Structures are given as structure tokens and as C-alpha cells.
């Protein structure tokens, strides 16, 4: 492959990590960083054990438990009540010792959701390849890393070889331009993107997000967008590194230090897509298409501006889509034409690897300040990591939220998915800052409306889905 051909950011990272290209185009890619959690690693470690193999590069591997940890009460693994959860966490703690893998203990302040702590600790760096047995590994693409979610057998393969077999992806550009309107955030951008291209819109592609709206976002916002690339069907998301990225990484625990950092920046500056590089698919949005968004169905693409109404399946010409809409409305207990803002909610969840960063908690606290959670509503705020929690407490955000009647919890995936005690009960309706609204995702027969942190806080104080712009 000629080095002079204009290349995308994706092409550059890919080319620099190919160990071998097989005749059918499949490549063996070198993996720089392997993030490990308790859910998808037990069989992988077991496979190594059976084959008598080691983890080849423990120094490039780091483990943390996040999905199964309670956010309240004892966080000591042997105290976890649910058996599967307890076994997964205890198994991870046993495996990391046996295989010499660095591990962030649950009671360490750096513990948190794997996709929050990667960027936060400087483990996720521009131009690198990052994998994790978790679909939202796309998050790390916000720093200009090629980051894939992988399956458990691939987790074992990476542990054993530090490489991964991958077919090349197609390049997709999603360009967003304009100044974001009042009350809008990165979450609204990505929900609008998925609403436009659909949950299969990115199939087979790696999405690179470009445009002045993306450039203006801080790292938290960029992470939110890249995180949900997977909900658009894409293999990964990418945002070219720039000064915002470099400033964010400087001084972080695992980022290069001193002169090595400046050298790294010089390399990182060569990564952005060359002028005239080819994208297989291009999608453009302007901020005129973005309002505070809310999902009404059970896929992230079933989304409308909060000022909108529940769509009518009768208007959908495609029979299969119409049937799916009917099913979604039945599950969500909504009727066509109903105004979203009239929909009462029972629970609010602010957290997850999509929106569990300090900036998200600040946005929620700004709405909560001086207000009260509506009667009958349970509102959880779950920081994405111990460091986020600590920072929020330094800033007094916990007190603002507690005074308003929100619960302030310990870091974990929490109510993003029902793998720990934080679950919806059947029929409960939740305004959630997480990324998936699938049937039963937050608990059996729970109903999820995906929103931004500010929108979630607004729903908490009014007791219904609410246009945050009305709260000023």
C-alpha cells in the first residue's frame, strides 16, 4: 500500500498495526491495549489455563470489575448477594493473580466502568489499537484510538498472542456542523445521528466524526458520541486527536511523560485524515437537526426531539417496520400522537459509560440545584469511576444532588443493565442517560427513555419527560 495515497485516520491506524495481511484481505492486527472486565473474561482465562498458555503481554493488559458491583452497601466481592455476579467478580480477582494481569481493585479510587477509566487514566491513547470484550469499547475512539469490542474467544486470542484477526472495515464520515442550541449536548448529537442513519446505518464501517460541532466538544462529549457508534451498527467510532485531546491526556497516570509526551504529540499530529482521503459513505448533519432528544421505542434509533410526539405506525409504509413500531409502542405503553412531554416517569438514572463523567454530573447538578426530585420518583446518580465521584464531591455536586433528593452512589455500570441490584421493576419507566433501551435492558419489563444528563435531571424534578430548555 503506497504511503502517498491520501488516507483516513482509520486507514493510518490500521496500516500501522497490520502484522500480516492474508489473501482474503483479513489482517492480523497488533493490539496495543487490552482492557478486561469480569463478564467476558472467565472463559478466556479458562481457555489459556487448559492450553497451558500465559497472558503474553500483561503489561499491555489491565483488568477492572464493573458490571456486577453493587453501588450501595458492601462492595467486597464475597458480600455480593447474586451468585452469578459474585462468581464473576471472584473469578476475575483469582485470574488476575494467577496470570499476573494488573488489576484495579474495587475499593481503589481509580475503579470504575472500563470505558470511563481508560481515557481517565491515560490508558487510551491516539493512534493505538484497543480491544475489550465489550461492545462499548468504541468509546475510546474519541481519543483517536482504533477501539473494537471483541467476543470472549477473541479475548483469549488477544491474551495469548497480543494480536487479533480482523477484516478491514469501510470508512464512514459523519460530519456535524453548526453551533449546538440551548439545552443540547453530545448525547443529543449522537441520538440525532442514530435517528437519521438508523441502527444499521454504520454496518461494516468505522465512523469518523468530523466537523466544527465535534471539534468544539470536550473529551467527555466526544466519548459520549464515540460510545454510541455501536448503536449505529458501526464497528468503531473515531475522532481525530487535536489540542483538546493532548491537553486532556497530559499528566494522566499511564500517558507518556515529559519528553516522551512531546514526541507522542508530534506523532499524534500526523494522524488526522489527509485532505482528499476517500470515505466510502458520507453523512452530514447540521445543528438545526439537533434538539434535546428522547427515545420513544426499544431501539436507540427510535428517537424524536422532546417537543415531538410518538410516531404513528400507520404512517410507516414498510410492513415489517410497521409491525416493529407497533410492538415497541405496546412494550413502551405509549400511543401514537402522544406528546413525549406528557409521559410520566418513575425512575431516573444518571450514569453509565455514555454519561457517567464529571461533565455529565455537572450538567445534572446544574438543573438539580435549588430544585427537588418530584414525589414518587427515584433518581440515581452513579459516577462512572471513583475519580469522577471524588472530583464531584470536591466540587460539592454530591451535596447539590442529595439536597434535591437524588441518590449518590458508588461507581459501577449500575442501572445501565440489569446485572447488579440496580434494576427497574416490571412496568417502571425510566429516563436514562445510558445507551440502550432494549426490552428488559434495565430490568425485566422495564421501560427506558434515553436522554442526556440535563434532560434526565429535568425529568427527575418534574416527574415526566421534560424539555430541559423550559427549566432555564
Ligand X SMILES: CC(C)[C@H](C(=O)O)[C@@H](O)C(=O)O
Residue 36 interacting with ligand SF4 (CB under 6 A): no
Rg over alpha carbons for the chain, rounded to the nearest Å, is 22
| Nearer Cβ to ligand X (303/417) | 417
Interface region with ligand SF4, contact rule CB under 6 A, candidates 51-59, 178-186, 374-382, 413-421 = 413-421
Binding mask 137-156 for ligand X (x = CB under 6 A): ------------x-------
431 binds, among ligand X, ligand SF4, none (CB under 5 to 8 A by kind): none
39 binds, among ligand X, ligand SF4, none (CB under 5 to 8 A by kind): ligand X
| Nearer Cβ to ligand SF4 (305/421) | 421
**Angstrom distance (rounded) from CA 139 to CA 119:** 9
First-to-final CA distance of the chain? 54
Q: DSSP states of 194-248 as a string?
A: HHHH-TTTTTTEEEEEESHHHHTS-HHHHHHHHHGGGGGT-SEEE----HHHHHH
Residue among 145, 164, 168 at smallest CA distance from 153: 164
Binding residues for [4Fe-4S] cluster: 353, 413, 416
**Angstrom distance (rounded) from CA 267 to CA 290:** 34
Q: Tell me, by CB under 6 A, how many residues bind ligand X.
A: 8
Residue 235 interacting with ligand SF4 (CB under 6 A): no
Residue selected from 38, 134, 398, 422 as contacting ligand SF4 according to rule CB under 6 A: 134
Residue 413 interacting with ligand SF4 (CB under 6 A): yes
Residue 138 interacting with ligand SF4 (CB under 6 A): no
Task: Answer for the pair 411, 356: CB distance below 8 angstroms, yes or no.
Answer: yes
Residue 210 interacting with ligand X (CB under 6 A): no
352 binds, among ligand X, ligand SF4, none (CB under 5 to 8 A by kind): ligand SF4
Query: Which contacts of 48-56 are long-range, i.e. CB under 8 A and separated by 24 or more positions?
Result: 48/99, 48/156, 48/159, 48/160, 49/98, 51/160, 53/159, 53/160, 54/99, 54/100, 54/160, 55/99, 55/100, 55/101, 55/159, 55/160, 56/159, 56/160, 56/161, 56/162
Residue selected from 343, 381, 417, 424 as contacting ligand SF4 according to rule CB under 6 A: 417
Binding residues: 353, 413, 416
* Look-up of cell digits 459474585: 86
Binding mask 26-45 for ligand X (x = CB under 6 A): -------------xx-----
Least Å distance between CB 70 and ligand SF4?
14
Residue selected from 29, 113, 328, 373 as contacting ligand SF4 according to rule CB under 6 A: 113
Residue 136 interacting with ligand X (CB under 6 A): yes
**Angstrom distance (rounded) from CA 109 to CA 87:** 23
Q: Tell me, by CB under 6 A, how many residues bind ligand SF4.
A: 12
* Look-up of cell digits 446544574: 366
Residues 47-86 contacting ligand X, CB under 6 A: 67
**Angstrom distance (rounded) from CA 348 to CA 430:** 5
**Where does residue 29 fall: left (phi above 0), alpha (psi -120 to 50 degrees), or beta otherwise?**
beta
The residue ranges that bind ligand SF4 (CB under 6 A) are 67, 113, 115, 134, 136, 352-353, 413, 416-417, 434-435
The residue ranges that bind ligand X (CB under 6 A) are 39-40, 67, 134-136, 149, 417
Amino acid at each position: 500500500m503506497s504511503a502517498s495515497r491520501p488516507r483516513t485516520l482509520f486507514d493510518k491506524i490500521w496500516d500501522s498495526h497490520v502484522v500480516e495481511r492474508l489473501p482474503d484481505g483479513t489482517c492480523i492486527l497488533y493490539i496495543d491495549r487490552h482492557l478486561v472486565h469480569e463478564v467476558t473474561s472467565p472463559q478466556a482465562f479458562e481457555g489459556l489455563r487448559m492450553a497451558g498458555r500465559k497472558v503474553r503481554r500483561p503489561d499491555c493488559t489491565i483488568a477492572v470489575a464493573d458490571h456486577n458491583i453493587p453501588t450501595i452497601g458492601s462492595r467486597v466481592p464475597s458480600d455480593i448477594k447474586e451468585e452469578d455476579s459474585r462468581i464473576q467478580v471472584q473469578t476475575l480477582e483469582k485470574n488476575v493473580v494467577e496470570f499476573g494481569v494488573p488489576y484495579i481493585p474495587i475499593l481503589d479510587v481509580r475503579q470504575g466502568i472500563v470505558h470511563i477509566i481508560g481515557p481517565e487514566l491515560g490508558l487510551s491513547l491516539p493512534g493505538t489499537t484497543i480491544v475489550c470484550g465489550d461492545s462499548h469499547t468504541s468509546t475510546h475512539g474519541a481519543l483517536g484510538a482504533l477501539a473494537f469490542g471483541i467476543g470472549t474467544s477473541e479475548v483469549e486470542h488477544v491474551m495469548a498472542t497480543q494480536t487479533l484477526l480482523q477484516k478491514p472495515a469501510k470508512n464512514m464520515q459523519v460530519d456535524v456542523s453548526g453551533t449546538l442550541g440551548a439545552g443540547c449536548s453530545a448525547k443529543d448529537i449522537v441520538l440525532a445521528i442514530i435517528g437519521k442513519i438508523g441502527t444499521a446505518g454504520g454496518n461494516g464501517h468505522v465512523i469518523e466524526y468530523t466537523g466544527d460541532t465535534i471539534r468544539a466538544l470536550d473529551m467527555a462529549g466526544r466519548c459520549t458520541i464515540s460510545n454510541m457508534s455501536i448503536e449505529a451498527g458501526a464497528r468503531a467510532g473515531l475522532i481525530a486527536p487535536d489540542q483538546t485531546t493532548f491537553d486532556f491526556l497530559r499528566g494522566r497516570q499511564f500517558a507518556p511523560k515529559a519528553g516522551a509526551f512531546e514526541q507522542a504529540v508530534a506523532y499524534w499530529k500526523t494522524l488526522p485524515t489527509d485532505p482528499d482521503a476517500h470515505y466510502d459513505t458520507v453523512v452530514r448533519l447540521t445543528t438545526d437537526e439537533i434538539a434535546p432528544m428522547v427515545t420513544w421505542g426499544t431501539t436507540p434509533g427510535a428517537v424524536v426531539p422532546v417537543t415531538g410526539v410518538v410516531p404513528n405506525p400507520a404512517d410507516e409504509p414498510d410492513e415489517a417496520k410497521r409491525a416493529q413500531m407497533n410492538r415497541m409502542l405496546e412494550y413502551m405503553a405509549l400511543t401514537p400522537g402522544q406528546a413525549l412531554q406528557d409521559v410520566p416517569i418513575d425512575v431516573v438514572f444518571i450514569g453509565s459509560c455514555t454519561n457517567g463523567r464529571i461533565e455529565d454530573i455537572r450538567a445534572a447538578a446544574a438543573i438539580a440545584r435549588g430544585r427537588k426530585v418530584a414525589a414518587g420518583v427515584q433518581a440515581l446518580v452513579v459516577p462512572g469511576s471513583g475519580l469522577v465521584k471524588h472530583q464531584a464531591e470536591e466540587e460539592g455536586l454530591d451535596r447539590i444532588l442529595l439536597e434535591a433528593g437524588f441518590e449518590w452512589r458508588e461507581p459501577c455500570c449500575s442501572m445501565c443493565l440489569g446485572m447488579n441490584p440496580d434494576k427497574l421493576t416490571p412496568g417502571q419507566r425510566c429516563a436514562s442517560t445510558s445507551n440502550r433501551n432494549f426490552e428488559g435492558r434495565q430490568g425485566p419489563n422495564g421501560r427506558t427513555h434515553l436522554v442526556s444528563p440535563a434532560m434526565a435531571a429535568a425529568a427527575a424534578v418534574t416527574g415526566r419527560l421534560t424539555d430541559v430548555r423550559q427549566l432555564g
